[in-house]
Amino acid sequence: MSLKKPLFAEKITFFTLLATLLLGSTSFAATYYVDPNGNDTSGNGSSTSPWKTLSTACSKVTSAGNTIYLNAGNYTDNNRCNLAPGVNIQGAGKSLVTITSAYSGGYGTGYIFRETGQTSPVPHGNNDISGFTLNGSNKTLSCGIWLRGTDYNTIHDIKFQKMKSHAIKLAGWTYWTDYNTTANTPPAAWGYNDAVYNVDIDDCTSQTTQTTDDRYGAIDLQALSNFKMYNVTINENYSARGTGVKAVPGWLQGFKGYNLNIKTNVYYSDSFVFETYNFTGDSEIYNSTFFQSISLNGGAKSLDSGSSWNLKIHDNTIDLSQMQVQSVGQELSHHWLDFYNNYITGNKGIAAGLWSTNYTTGSGVSHWRFRNNVIYNCADGLQLVRGTNSYVEIYNNIFDTMTANPWGGSGIDGSGFSGSLSGAKIQNNLVMNTPAAPISIGSSLTNTLVDHNWFYNTGNSNNIANSSSSTTQSNNTKGVAPQITGSGTRPDPYYRSVSGTGNLVDAGINVGLPYSGNAPDIGVFEGKRLSAPVLSLN
C-alpha cells in the first residue's frame, strides 16, 4: 500500500496540471467581440456584451494569441487602436464591415498603430489583421495601418479608402544616423516575413513637400526581408496624389510582389507605381499590370550569398497609353537588375532607361540586363543616358513602332549618352518600324558589341547611328522582313515566328540564355519550342 499512494498522488498531480494547461490554453486563445451596437463602457468583449469600437478593444485585449472579432456593420471610431504584439484583428469581411475614422494624429501614426524602439533582432509582432473596409474620412486619417519596428505581421482581405499618406506602413529597423547613410547601408536588423495580400487601396496618398520623400506611397515599406505582396489593387489616379508602392530608402531583401494591378496619376510623370530603392536577395516583381512607370535606385553593388541578382522584374504588362504627359518611362537605375519578359506600350516618352541618379547610383550602375522584352508604340525604346556603368547586356528584345513623338524614334538610343560605358553587349534584338536609326550608339559608348540583330523598316538606311570607332558590328540583318505571326494579341502571339519556323528562328547567337535548336532565335520567343510569357493588356 505504501507504494501505491505516491502513484495515485502522481496521477492526481498530472491531471491537475493537464487541466490547468487546458484552461490556460483556452484563456490564451480567447476571442473578444466588437459590434456597432456594443458599449465601450459597460461591455466586456463577450459575444453577448461586445464593445462598440476597435480602439477600445485594442486597449483592453493585450495578451498574445487573442483575437478581436468585428461583427458586420458600420463603425465610427476616431481614436487610435494601439495594437499589442500577438493580438489578431478579424472582421466579418471587407464587404460587411466598414470603419470610418477621422483620427487626426498626423504623420508618424495610424489608426491601427504600433511603434517599437529599435532592437536587434527586431521583435516579432505576430499580428494577423483582416476582414474589413477602412475609410479615412475624406483623407483626415493619415495612415490606415502603421507597424514599425516589428515583423511577422500579416495584412489581408482589407479595403482602404481616402487616406492622406499611406494605407499601410510596414518597417523593420529604421534608425540610421542620416539619410545618406540610410540610402547606402543595409539595416542593422531586418524585419522578417511580413505579408500583404487580397488588399484593395483607393485614394490613400498625397503629394508632399518633403525634401527626400516628395510623394507618399499607398504602401510604404522599409528594412524588410522575405516580404510578400500579392493580389493587391492600388488606384491613386487622382490629382496631387502619390505613388503606389514606395520604399525610400527601402532595403527589401527577398521581396516578392506579384498579381498586382497599380494605377497612379497619369498627369504626372513622377507618380510612379513603384518608387523603390535597394532590393537585394533575388527580389522579384512579376505577373502584374501597371499603368505608370517603375522608378528604381540603388541596390547593393555585391550580391547576397546564394543569390544571382538583386532584383528581377519579369512577366509584367506596363501600359502607358493613358499617360497625359511624356514620361521618362521605367527608371531602371539599380545594380544587379534582370529586367525580362515585360511588355511596355503606349508611352509618349521613352519606354525604359538606364542612368545614374543620386545617393546609391551616383557613380553609375553595374550588372544590368534587359532581355526578352517587347516595346511597342513608344516615342523611344530603351535609352542609355548617363553614368559610369558596366556589365550592361541587351538581349533578345523586340522594339516595334517607335513614334518619335515628341522625340526619339530609335529602338535602342544612346545618342546622348554622357559618362562611361565600355563593353555593352547588344545582341539578338529585333528592331522594326522606327523613323530613326534602329540603334544609336553615341560616341561616348566604347567597345560596344552590336551583333546578330535584325533591323526592318527603320530610318538611317537601317544603319547604326553615331557609333564610335570601337563599336563592333557583325552579323546584323538589315531590310529583310521578319517572318512573325503579325496578328492576334500583342505581344503573344503577334510577335511569334510563323509556325515556329520563320527566318528569326535559330538566327541568333548564344548569349548564355536557354535555347533549343541549333542556335537562339532573334527576338523574344523561342518559336513554339520553349514556354513564352503570356502578356496582354486587361
Is residue 97 classed as helix, strand or coil in its secondary structure?
Answer: strand
Find the range with the poorest average confidence among 3-12, 134-143, 429-438, 440-449: 3-12
Q: What is the pLDDT of residue 409?
A: 93
- Spatial strand order of the sheet with 252-253 comes to 191-192, 224-225, 252-253, 279-280
pLDDT at 465: 78
What is residue 430's predicted lDDT score, i.e. its pLDDT?
97
Q: Give the pLDDT score at 407.
A: 86
Going from the C-alpha of 391 to that of each of 354, 447, 448, 453, 466, the distances in angstroms are: 12, 12, 11, 19, 21
C-alpha–C-alpha distance, residues 364 and 419, integer Å = 9
**Which three three-digit cell numbers place residue 29?**
486563445
Higher pLDDT, 163 or 471: 163
Distance separating alpha carbons of residues 352 and 382, to the nearest angstrom: 5
pLDDT for 263 beyond 60: yes
Higher local confidence (pLDDT), 530 or 375: 375
CA atoms within a 13 Å half-sphere pointing along the CA-CB vector of 263? 15
pLDDT of residue 353 exceeding 50: yes
Domain boundaries, the chain: 31-478
Residue whose C-alpha is closest to residue 265's, from 320, 332, 209: 320
How many other C-beta atoms lie within 10 A of the C-beta of residue 385?
A: 20
* Dist CA 231 CA 244 (whole Å): 14
pLDDT at position 10 over 60: no
Quick one: average pLDDT of 9-15?
Answer: 45
Q: Residue 439: which of 473, 475, 465 has the closest Cα?
A: 465
pLDDT at 424: 94
Higher pLDDT, 6 or 160: 160
Residue 358: predicted pLDDT: 55
Q: Is the pLDDT of residue 9 over 80?
A: no
* Block residue for cell numbers 499590370: 289
Architecture of domain 31-478: 3 Solenoid (2.160)
Average pLDDT over residues 213-239: 94
Provide the pLDDT confidence category of residue 14 given band limits of 50, 70 and 90.
Answer: very low
Q: Give the tens place of pLDDT for each residue, 117-127.
A: 888 999 999 99
Instruction: For residue 361, give the 3-state DSSP assignment.
Output: helix
Question: Is-contact 343 311, C-beta < 8 A?
Answer: no
Task: Name the nearest CA neighbour of 523 among 442, 411, 415, 448.
Answer: 411
What is the overall mean pLDDT for the chain? 89
* Phi–psi pair at 387, nearest 5 degrees: 120, 165
What per-residue confidence (pLDDT) applies to 461?
A: 67
Q: How confident is the model at residue 269 (pLDDT cuts 50, 70, 90)?
A: confident
Q: Convert the pLDDT of each residue in 272-316 to its tens digit.
A: 999 999 999 999 999 999 999 999 987 788 899 999 999 999 999
> What confidence score (pLDDT) does residue 22 get?
42
Q: pLDDT tens-digit profile of 16-53? A: 444 444 444 444 689 999 999 999 999 999 999 999 99
Check whether 525 has a pLDDT greater than 90.
Answer: no
